[in-house]
C-alpha cells in the first residue's frame, strides 16, 4: 500500500511538471505571435495591402496522338492569348475601351462577352485570365503597337490543338473544348480551372488524365501600373503523355473513301488482340473548328443535322445483324449438340409455323449447316433456331459479346440487344412467341448489334474461340477471354463462311486477291431502304483481321457491303508488314 502511494506521489510530481511545462510553452507561443501581430504589424500590413505578386498559368502541352505507323492525329501549334488581370479588367470602362481597340483590329468581341470570359476564368484578382484567344503573331503585333494598347494587357504564347486527319478520324480522336461549368464542378479537386481545355469526345476524353499534362505556373512581381518587373518563381509545365493508337490511318482513309457520302460504319480489328485498325463512321465532321471554338450557331447545325454526323455508328449505332447472325445460330446449335455437321433440312422456299408463313430467297433443297451458311438459307436457320430455343440462342449471343458494350476505350458505346422472353415481357407486356424465335434466328426482330460487336463475334470465329476486347491505346492491350468453343463446333462454321466468299452471297468480297471468309446480311429497315452488312475476316489460312461493314440504306449486303469489306481486308493484309514507324 505504501508503495502504491509512493508511486502515485511520484506520478503526480511528474504530472505537475508536465502541466507547468505545457503552459509555459503556450505562453512563449503567445509571445512569439505577439511579436508578429504587434511589433511587426506595420510591415506585414504594408505587404498585405500592396501584394504585388501576380501569377500566370503556363499551359501544358497536351500529349500528341499518332496512328500505329506514327502518322499524326492530334498535334499542338503555338498561338497567342491576350491576357490581363481581373484586378485591372474589372475596373470601370476598361472592357468598353478594349472592345473599341479590338474592333479596330478586326476582332469582333463586345464588352459583355469579354466580361463573361473574365468571370468564367476568375480565380483570384491577381491570377491572369485570357481575354482573347487564338491570335496570330501578326494580330498580336498590330495590337501591341496600337497607342491605345494598355500595358495592363499582354500577349502570352499558348498551345492550340490541331487535328491533321480532321474528319478522317473524328470519331476516334474526338476533340477538346473549353471546360463547361458542370465538368468543372465534377473535377473540382483535380486541378481544373475555368478556361481550361478538356477532352470532350473520343480518345481526347477517355485519356484526358494522361493527355492533359500539368500546367506550370509563373509568379511575377509587377509595378503599380501592373507591368511585369521580374519573375519571382517559375514552375515549368509538364507535357502530357503522347499516345500511339492502334489505328491505321491508311486503311481508315480507304474506308472513308469507300463509304464516300453514304451513311454507315466500318470497323476492322486484329483478331488475335482486338487492336482496332479501322473505326470510321460516316458522315464525319471536322474536329478542328470545334477545338478552336466555334459560334453557337455552327455548333447547333452540327448537332441537329438530320444525318447526325456526331453519332459514332460503329459503336453507338445498333442495327439488326440480319444474316450475319446466322453464324451465331450455327455455333449455338452445334455447340449445344442440337444439330451435327451432317444434319440436313429441306428448304422449299417457305416455312409454315401455325398460320404464319416465313420465306426464303429461293428453294435451296436439302442442305447441311455449311451449305445453309453459304446460301444464307433462312428455312434452315428458322428450324435450327426453333430446335435450339431462344434461351440458348441468346446465351450464345451474349457469350460471343453481343448485348453489352465491348469495352472499347471510347465513350458512348451502345449495348445492342440480345434479350429474350423476360425482356419482351418487361418492355411490351407480351409473351414470347415461336415466331419471335424464328425472326431472331435470322438476326431480325428484337435483335440489335453494333458493327463493332459483330466484328468481335467474327474475330472469335477467326481466332479459335477467343473473345477479344477492342482497344485503341496501343500501350495497354486488354486481356482476351477463352470461350472454350470446341474445334469441332467452329470447323463447320468456318467452312461455311469460307464458302460464302468463295461461291456464295459474299463472292464480291473475294475479288481483291486475298482469300477471305465472311457473311453478308440485309437488315430490314422500317424507315427506308434496307441496311447492308458484311462481316468477315482474312486471310483464310491464318486469319489476321476481322471487319464489319454496315451501310445504312445500302439495300443489299452482297452488292454494297461485301466489296467494301473485301477490299479493306485485302488492304490490311497486303500492308501487314508495314509496322515500322
Partner 1 sequence: MTLPKKSLREILPELDGLMILAMVLLFLLGLVSIYSASQGATRMGQYYALRQTIWGGLSLAAFLVTVRIGYEEIYRWSHFVYGAVALLLLTVLLVGYSAKGAQSWINLGFFRLQPAELGKIALAVVLSRVAVVHGPHDLRGLTICLAVTAGIALPVMLQPDLGTVIVYAVMTFAALHVARAPRKYLFSLVGLALISLPLGWTFMKEYQRQRLLVFLDPYVDPLGAGYNVIQSRIAVGSGGIWGKGFLEGTQSRLHFLPESHTDFVFSVFAEEFGFAGTVVVLFLYSLLIWRILSTALATKDIRAKVMVSMVACWVWFQLFEVMAMSVGLAPVTGIPMPLFSYGGSALLSVSVGLALVQSVHVASRKSYV
Q: Binding residues for partner 1, per CB under 8 A?
A: 7-8, 10-12, 14-16, 18-19, 22-23, 25-26, 29-30, 32-34, 36-38, 40-41, 43-45, 47-49, 51, 53, 55, 123-127, 189, 217, 219, 232-235
Crossing angle of helices 487-502 and 326-335, rounded to 10°? 150
Q: How far apart are CA 461 and CA 463, in angstroms?
A: 6
| Of 164 and 216, CB closest to partner 1 | 216
Q: How far apart are CA 49 and CA 122, in angstroms?
A: 20
Query: In this structure, what is the dihedral angle of CA atoms 282, 283, 288, 293, given to the nearest 10 degrees?
Result: -130
Characterize the bridge pairing of strands 531-538 and 243-244: unpaired
Residue 551 vs residues 202, 227, 320, 463, 534: alpha-carbon distances, Å: 22, 61, 12, 26, 9
The answer to whether 497 touches 373, Cβ cutoff 8 Å, is: yes
Residue 469: name the closest of 207, 249, 233, 275 by CA: 275
Q: How far apart are CA 40 and CA 44, in angstroms?
A: 6
**Cell output for 186:** 465534377
The answer to whether 251 touches 572, Cβ cutoff 8 Å, is: yes
Q: How far apart are CA 489 and CA 339, in angstroms?
A: 10
Characterize the bridge pairing of strands 466-467 and 481-482: antiparallel
The answer to whether 55 touches 127, Cβ cutoff 8 Å, is: yes
**Cell output for 141:** 503585333
| Of 45 and 363, CB closest to partner 1 | 45
The answer to whether 520 touches 533, Cβ cutoff 8 Å, is: yes
**Cell output for 252:** 481508315
SS3 270: strand
| Of 14 and 362, CB closest to partner 1 | 14
Q: How far apart are CA 59 and CA 216, in angstroms?
A: 6
DSSP β-bridge partners for residue 278: 268
The answer to whether 192 touches 183, Cβ cutoff 8 Å, is: yes
Residue 545: name the closest of 332, 348, 345, 279 by CA: 279
Amino acid at each position: 500500500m505504501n508503495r502504491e502511494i509512493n508511486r502515485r506521489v511520484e506520478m503526480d510530481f511528474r504530472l505537475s511538471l508536465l502541466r507547468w511545462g505545457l503552459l509555459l510553452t503556450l505562453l512563449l507561443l503567445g509571445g512569439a505571435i505577439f511579436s508578429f501581430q504587434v511589433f511587426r504589424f506595420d510591415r506585414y500590413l504594408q505587404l498585405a495591402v500592396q501584394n504585388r505578386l501576380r501569377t500566370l498559368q503556363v499551359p501544358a502541352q497536351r500529349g500528341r496522338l499518332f496512328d500505329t505507323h506514327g502518322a499524326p492525329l492530334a498535334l499542338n501549334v503555338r498561338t497567342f492569348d491576350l491576357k490581363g488581370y481581373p484586378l485591372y479588367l474589372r475596373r470601370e470602362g476598361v472592357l468598353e475601351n478594349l472592345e473599341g481597340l479590338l474592333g479596330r483590329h478586326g476582332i469582333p468581341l463586345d464588352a459583355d462577352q469579354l466580361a463573361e470570359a473574365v468571370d468564367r476564368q476568375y480565380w483570384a484578382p491577381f491570377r491572369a485570365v485570357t481575354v482573347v484567344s487564338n491570335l496570330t503573331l501578326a494580330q498580336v503585333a498590330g495590337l501591341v503597337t496600337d497607342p491605345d494598347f494598355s500595358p495592363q494587357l499582354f500577349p502570352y504564347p499558348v498551345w492550340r490543338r490541331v487535328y491533321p486527319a480532321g474528319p478522317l478520324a473524328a470519331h476516334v480522336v474526338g476533340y477538346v473544348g473549353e471546360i463547361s461549368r458542370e465538368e468543372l464542378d465534377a473535377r473540382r479537386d483535380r486541378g481544373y480551372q475555368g478556361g481550361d481545355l478538356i477532352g470532350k469526345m473520343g480518345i481526347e476524353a477517355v485519356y484526358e488524365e494522361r493527355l492533359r499534362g500539368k500546367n506550370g505556373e509563373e509568379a511575377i512581381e509587377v509595378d503599380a501600373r501592373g507591368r511585369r518587373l521580374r519573375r519571382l518563381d517559375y514552375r515549368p509545365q509538364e507535357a502530357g503523355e503522347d499516345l500511339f493508337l492502334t489505328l491505321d490511318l491508311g486503311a481508315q482513309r480507304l474506308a472513308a473513301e469507300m463509304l464516300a457520302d453514304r451513311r454507315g460504319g466500318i470497323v476492322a480489328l486484329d483478331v488475335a488482340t482486338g487492336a482496332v485498325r479501322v473505326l470510321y463512321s460516316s458522315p464525319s465532321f471536322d474536329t478542328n473548328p470545334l477545338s478552336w471554338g466555334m459560334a453557337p450557331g455552327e455548333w447547333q447545325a452540327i448537332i441537329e443535322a438530320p444525318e447526325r454526323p456526331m453519332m459514332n455508328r460503329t459503336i453507338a449505332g445498333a442495327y439488326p445483324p440480319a444474316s450475319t447472325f446466322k453464324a451465331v445460330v450455327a455455333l449455338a446449335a452445334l455447340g449445344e449438340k442440337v444439330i451435327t455437321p451432317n444434319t440436313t433440312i429441306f428448304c422449299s422456299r417457305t416455312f409454315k409455323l401455325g398460320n404464319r408463313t416465313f420465306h426464303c430467297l429461293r428453294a435451296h433443297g436439302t442442305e447441311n449447316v455449311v451449305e445453309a451458311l453459304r446460301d444464307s438459307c433462312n428455312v434452315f436457320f428458322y428450324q435450327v433456331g426453333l430446335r435450339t430455343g431462344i434461351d440458348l440462342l441468346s446465351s450464345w449471343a451474349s457469350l460471343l459479346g453481343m448485348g453489352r458494350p465491348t469495352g472499347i476505350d471510347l465513350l458512348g458505346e451502345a449495348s445492342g440487344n440480345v434479350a429474350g422472353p423476360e425482356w419482351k415481357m418487361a418492355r411490351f407486356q407480351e409473351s414470347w412467341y415461336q415466331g419471335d424465335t424464328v425472326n431472331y434466328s435470322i438476326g431480325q426482330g428484337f435483335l440489335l448489334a453494333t458493327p463493332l460487336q459483330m466484328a468481335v463475334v467474327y474475330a472469335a470465329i477467326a481466332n479459335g474461340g477467343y473473345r477479344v476486347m477492342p482497344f485503341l491505346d496501343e500501350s495497354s492491350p486488354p486481356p482476351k477471354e477463352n470461350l472454350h468453343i470446341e474445334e469441332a463446333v467452329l470447323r463447320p462454321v468456318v467452312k461455311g463462311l469460307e464458302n460464302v466468299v468463295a461461291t456464295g452471297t459474299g463472292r464480291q468480297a473475294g475479288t481483291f486477291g486475298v482469300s477471305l471468309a465472311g457473311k453478308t446480311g440485309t437488315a430490314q429497315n422500317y424507315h427506308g431502304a434496307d441496311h447492308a452488312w458484311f462481316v468477315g475476316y482474312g486471310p483464310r489460312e491464318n486469319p489476321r483481321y476481322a471487319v464489319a461493314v454496315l451501310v445504312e440504306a445500302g439495300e443489299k449486303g452482297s452488292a454494297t457491303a461485301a466489296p467494301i469489306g473485301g477490299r479493306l481486308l485485302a488492304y490490311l493484309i497486303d500492308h501487314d508488314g508495314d509496322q515500322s514507324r
